[in-house]
Chain A
Amino acid sequence: MTRLAVPKTYKLYLGGKFPRSESGRVYAIQSHDGEFLANAAKASRKDARDAVVAARSALGGWAGATAYNRGQVLYRIAELLEGRRAQFTAEIVQSEGVSVAVAAAQVDEAIDRWVWYAGWADKYLQVAGNANPVSGPYFNLSVPEPTGVVAIIAPQTGGSLLGLVSAVAPALVSGNTVVVVANETMPLSAISLGEVLATSDVPGGVVNVLTGSPAEMAPWLASHADVNALDLVGAGDLDWIHLEIDAAETLTRVLQPENGPDAASPSLARILAFTETKTIWHTKGLI
C-alpha cells in the first residue's frame, strides 16, 4: 500500500515568521512539465509594506553586528544548505525540468556563493575604505557602511536558487536587510531558502521573502520611501524604467536589470553597490 503524501503549504517569510498573505490570495505553481505542484502565497501590497517594516526593524541589529559575526552567520547558511542538498535538488528538478546532475550543480554553486560572500564580511571594508592624507591636523578615515533596506527583484530566469542567492547574499554582507521578490514561476527554492534562514542564525527580518507577482509588487517597493536601495537584477521583463523613475522620488539607489548566465555574478562591486562611504574628520590635539 502506498503512503498518502503530505503536500506542503507554501507561505511568505516575513520578519522571521511564515505568514500567509494577509490578502488570502494564492497562485498555482507548476512543474516544468505543467503539473500542479502547489499553491504559493500571492503577496499583497500590505505584505510588501510589512516586509519593509520587518527589514527596517532588523537593520540596527544586523548592521550593528560585528563583521566577524555576520561572516559566521552567512557561512552557517552554507552549512545548512549543504545538509539540505537533496531537497533543493529535487525542487529544482521539479521546477526547472533539469536533470538531477544539473540541479545538484546549481545547489553546489549556490552554497559556494554563500561561502564566498561570507568571507567578504570582515574584509570588504578594508578593501573599499582608506585613510585620507588631508592637509591639516586631522585623522581622516573613509569607511563603507550598509545603505539600509534593499528591495530585490530576484532573477526570473536561469537557476531559481542560484539567482536568488546571487542577489541576496551580496546585499547582506555589509549589514543591509533585504526584501526579496522571488522568482514568480519557480518560487520553491526561495520558500525553502526562507525555511533554511529561519533555522539558521540569521535574525528574523534580515531577509524577507515575498512570492507572487513581481509586476505587481515592484512598483510598491520602488516607490516606498523607506526602501534605500532597489536591485532590479531580475526586473528585465518588467517596465523597469518606470521603477527607476519611481525610485528617484526619494533618491533610492538603483541597480539596473541584468540578463544572461552572468546576471548578478559574484563581485565586490555588488557588495559595494549597497554601501555608503562615510568620511570622518577627527581633530588631532596639539601637543
Chain B
Amino acid sequence: MSFLDYAPAPESQAVLNLRADYGLFIDGEFVAGRGEPFQSINPATEKQIAMIAHANAADVDMAVAAARRAYDKTWSKLSGSDRGKYLFRIARLVQERARELAVAETLDNGKPIKESRDVDVPLVAAWFFYYAGWADKLDHAGVGPTPSARGVAAQVIPWNFPLLMLAWKIAPALAAGNTVVLKPAETTSLTALLFAEILQQADLPAGVVNIVTGGRDTGQALVGHPGVNLVAFTGSTGAGRAIARSIAGTDKKVILELGGKAANIVFDDAPIDQAIEGIVNGIFFNQGHVCCAGSRLLVQESIHDDVIERLKARLSTLRLGDPLDKNTDIGAINSAEQLARIRELTDIGEQEGAERWSPDCVLPETGFWFKPTIFTNVSTSHRIARDEVFGPVLSVLTFRTPAEAVAKANNTPYGLSAGIWTEKGSRMLAVADKLRAGVIWANTFNRFDPASPFGGYKESGYGREGGRHGLAAYLKPAAGRSAARAVPPAEKTAVPRKKAAK
C-alpha cells in the first residue's frame, strides 16, 4: 500500500433533497416547460440525477415578460438599501445551505467536492455579500451621479462553475437594480434550480430573477429577445462572436467573457516549489475547465528540465476519481461531448509531434475521465498551443529572454489571463505591463474575488465582472452621458450663424 492509497472518504449525499423533475422558475414559481424535458446526469457515473424542463421560445417570452413586470412594478421602485437587504439575505442563505449546494454542484458537474466546498460555494456567498453593499451606493460606481439600471438582463452561463457563474451574473445585476432572466448550461442546471428555492426562501419579489433551463435554442431565444436590455454571456469565443453579431444594430449592452489560452510564465529565479503548485493549480484546477486556465506553460530554457521533472513528480501524486471523495484532486470531465473534444485535440497534439505524458492512474470504468496530461516539445504553431482545450492538458514551451516570453505569451487571439513567476519585483512589473491580458497573477494563479474585476482583452471578450467595474456594466449613466462631460457642445457655432444670416 503506497501513501496514496487512502480509504474512500465520500461526502454524504444525505444533505440533498432533490426532486425527480425540475420546472422552469418564472415569476417566482416553478412551472412546466413547453420543450422536451432532458435529463441531467452525474458525469462521474453517467446516472440520471433529475429531469430538467426545456424552455422553448414561448417560455422565454413569458420569463422576459415576468422580468419586465417585476422591473416596472417592483424592483425599480425599491430603495437601494432594500435591494441590498435582499442580496444580504441571499448571501446568508447560500452560506446556510453551503454543504448542500457543494454536494449538488459536485454531483452535477463532476468537480471535486473539495473545490465546490472550498472555492465555488464560498465565493458565491462572497459575491452576493460584496454586491449587496453596493446596492445603495451606486453614485460611487464610477459612471457619474444618479445612474439607473438598464432594465431586464439576459444572462447565459457555462457549465464549468455553474453556481459561481450564476452569482457573478445575478449579484451585480440585482444590486444595480436590473431584473434577470438567466439560462444555465444544459448539462449543469441543478444548482441554479436549488438557488431558485433560495430566492423563494428569501422572499425575493416574483419575477426579479427567472431561470429558464434548456439547450442552445433556449439561449438563443433569450439573447435575441427584443425585450431584454442587456446580454451577459460567459462561454466559448465562437458563441460570443455569434452573440456580438446577433445584437449588432441594437442598443443592448453586452458583456462577453469568452475563451482563453493563458500563458503561465516561469522565470529561472522563480520560487520553484510554489511555481510547481501554481502550474498545477493553473491547469488542473477544475479539470482544466477554466477559461482563464494557465494552459500554456512558458518556462525559461535553463530550468526547463528541472521544472518538468518536478511537475511530473507532483502530477503523480494527484488523485483522480470519485468527485465526492474529499481526497480527490481531479474529478470527472463534465460531458461526453467535452471529453471527445479533449481527446481530439490531444490526439492532434501527438500527431503534430509534441511529446505526451500522463501519470499512471486508473480511470473509473463509468463516467467521463481524462488523465492529467503534459505536452513537451510544443511549438507555437501547434494546435495544442493555439486552441483552447478546456481540459486537464498543459502545453509546455520555452523561452530565453523576458522579451521572448512576452512575445510568445501575447501570440494568441485571446487575452484573458496570464501568470508570472519570478522573485524579481521589477521584472514582474515590467512583464505584467507588457502582457495583453485582463487578469494577471504574479506568483499565484486562478485567484478570484468579488472585489477584483475579471475579463479579457482581444477575442476573450469585453466588459468586466467583479469589483466596481463589474457593477458599472449593469448601470446606465444619467441621461446617457458621462458625468465627466465638461466642455459645452457646439451650440456656440449655431449662434453666430443666425447673425450671419441677417
In the complex, the answer to whether A142 meets B453 with C-beta atoms within 8 Å is yes
A residues 120-172 in Cβ contact with B at 8 Å: 127-128, 130, 132-136, 138, 140, 142, 147, 158-159, 162
In the complex, the answer to whether B452 meets A134 with C-beta atoms within 8 Å is yes
Contact with B along A99-126 (1 / 0, CB 8 A): 1011001100100110010000000000
Q: Does B457 count as interface, using CB distance less than 8 angstroms? A: yes
User: Least Cβ distance of B367 to chain A in Å?
Assistant: 33
In the complex, the answer to whether A251 meets B481 with C-beta atoms within 8 Å is no
In the complex, the answer to whether B241 meets A279 with C-beta atoms within 8 Å is no
Residues of chain B contacted by A130 (CB below 8 angstroms): 467-468
The answer to whether A116 and B487 touch (CB under 8 A), given A99-B497, A109-B493, A250-B413, is yes
The answer to whether A244 and B249 touch (CB under 8 A), given A109-B492, A135-B126, A142-B452, is yes
Closest chain B residue to A268 by CB distance? B484
Contact with B along A264-287 (1 / 0, CB 8 A): 011111100000111111110000
B residues 474-502 in Cβ contact with A at 8 Å: 477, 481-487, 489-494, 496-497, 499-500
The answer to whether A105 and B492 touch (CB under 8 A), given A267-B481, A279-B438, A280-B442, is yes
In the complex, the answer to whether B461 meets A279 with C-beta atoms within 8 Å is no
Q: Does B459 count as interface, using CB distance less than 8 angstroms? A: yes
Q: Does A42 count as interface, using CB distance less than 8 angstroms? A: no
The docked-state distance in angstroms from the alpha carbon of A268 to that of B486 is 9
In the complex, the answer to whether B487 meets A113 with C-beta atoms within 8 Å is yes
Q: Does A62 count as interface, using CB distance less than 8 angstroms? A: no
The docked-state distance in angstroms from the alpha carbon of A133 to that of B458 is 27
User: Least Cβ distance of B388 to chain A in Å?
Assistant: 14
In the complex, the answer to whether A281 meets B452 with C-beta atoms within 8 Å is yes
Q: Does B162 count as interface, using CB distance less than 8 angstroms? A: no
For A, the interface residue count at a CB cutoff of 8 angstroms equals 55
In the complex, the answer to whether B440 meets A280 with C-beta atoms within 8 Å is yes
Place the interface of chain B in its size category: 35 or more
Q: Does A65 count as interface, using CB distance less than 8 angstroms? A: no
User: Least Cβ distance of B17 to chain A in Å?
Assistant: 31
Residues of chain A contacted by B142 (CB below 8 angstroms): 127-128
Residues of chain B contacted by A253 (CB below 8 angstroms): 462
Q: Does B240 count as interface, using CB distance less than 8 angstroms? A: yes
User: Least Cβ distance of B405 to chain A in Å?
Assistant: 16
User: Least Cβ distance of A241 to chain B in Å?
Assistant: 3
Q: Does A98 count as interface, using CB distance less than 8 angstroms? A: yes
Contact with A along B441-477 (1 / 0, CB 8 A): 1111001010111110111111010011100000001
Q: Does A215 count as interface, using CB distance less than 8 angstroms? A: no
Residues of chain A contacted by B477 (CB below 8 angstroms): 269
The answer to whether A277 and B453 touch (CB under 8 A), given A138-B447, A248-B244, is yes
In the complex, the answer to whether B440 meets A279 with C-beta atoms within 8 Å is yes
Q: Does A240 count as interface, using CB distance less than 8 angstroms? A: yes
The answer to whether A106 and B462 touch (CB under 8 A), given A134-B451, A245-B245, A251-B256, is no
Residues of chain B contacted by A136 (CB below 8 angstroms): 447, 449
In the complex, the answer to whether A251 meets B487 with C-beta atoms within 8 Å is no
In the complex, the answer to whether A102 meets B449 with C-beta atoms within 8 Å is no
Closest chain B residue to A239 by CB distance? B249
Q: Does A228 count as interface, using CB distance less than 8 angstroms? A: yes
A-binding residues in B (CB < 8 A): 126, 142, 237, 240-241, 244-245, 248-249, 251, 256, 258, 413, 415, 428, 432, 437-444, 447, 449, 451-455, 457-462, 464, 467-469, 477, 481-487, 489-494, 496-497, 499-500
Closest 8 pairs (CB-CB, A-B): A268-B484, A241-B249, A269-B482, A248-B244, A99-B500, A244-B248, A267-B482, A134-B449
18 examples of A-B residue contacts, CB within 8 angstroms = A106-B490, A109-B487, A134-B449, A134-B452, A135-B449, A159-B490, A250-B459, A251-B458, A251-B460, A253-B462, A261-B490, A262-B490, A265-B481, A277-B469, A278-B437, A278-B438, A281-B444, A281-B452
B-binding residues in A (CB < 8 A): 98-99, 101-102, 105-106, 109, 112-113, 116, 127-128, 130, 132-136, 138, 140, 142, 147, 158-159, 162, 228, 240-242, 244-245, 247-251, 253-254, 256, 261-262, 265-270, 276-283
